[in-house]
Structure 1
């Protein structure tokens, strides 16, 4: 079982909430801007890149509990839950899906599909902007991503 760490960075009126795995990679992230804009890593390309070394970060770093992070995450994703349920019904396990590789996260290649986001965990088999055809093999409910295998 992997160990997760949760931090909140307060920097120049920004709030950055990060879930960090035991290898020090960000897995989920929330960025709250001073103007009220919010980015969430499951919908936006805002996840911290590379290994996170707390001593190298700017701003005030506050350790937060998993519960506090989840409360933030769920409050920002709750309006998408009905749509996520419909997407899972439409893209059932074994169904086919096509999309374009947009970027890479520690979890794998993020594939932008017509009406959802998919995840393929073997980043060595795809390139950015490559069109991917895959088979639905599972779901990442936290991120609302469809997991795929490439045909």
Structure 2
């Protein structure tokens, strides 16, 4: 089996790091401030403490740029007479968020395959060396 190009193997850790950074969670304080601003602007009542905490926790788990993208779209287009829920925000970024997660998954899959190939090469080399030593012992005896 041909070896992977060295530039691919060398670029993989950096690509995985960038994919992880693209999925870094946002700031709960920023999310809470945004939700409060939206509620105040539209005259919506905030949910009870636990519900608000859960909403903020979920939305802060999204990358900051995607939360801001969803918030902007809600700010521009939301027409209902209630405070938007997490699902209302999520639908604006679902495809982008899934694409980022899929990219990371694919990169991690390539990393695991590369590690497996390297282990296989190592084990093949060790088996070959063991075979040589075994044949040398047989000849010697």
**Which bracket does the TM-score occupy, shorter chain normalised?**
under 0.3
- Higher relative CO (Cα under 8 Å, sequence separation at least 6) belongs to 2
Q: When you count helix as a share of all residues, which structure comes out higher?
A: 2
TM-score (norm 2): 0.23
With the length of structure 1 as denominator, give the TM-score of the two structures.
0.22
Report which of the two has the higher share of strand.
Answer: 1
Larger Rg: 2
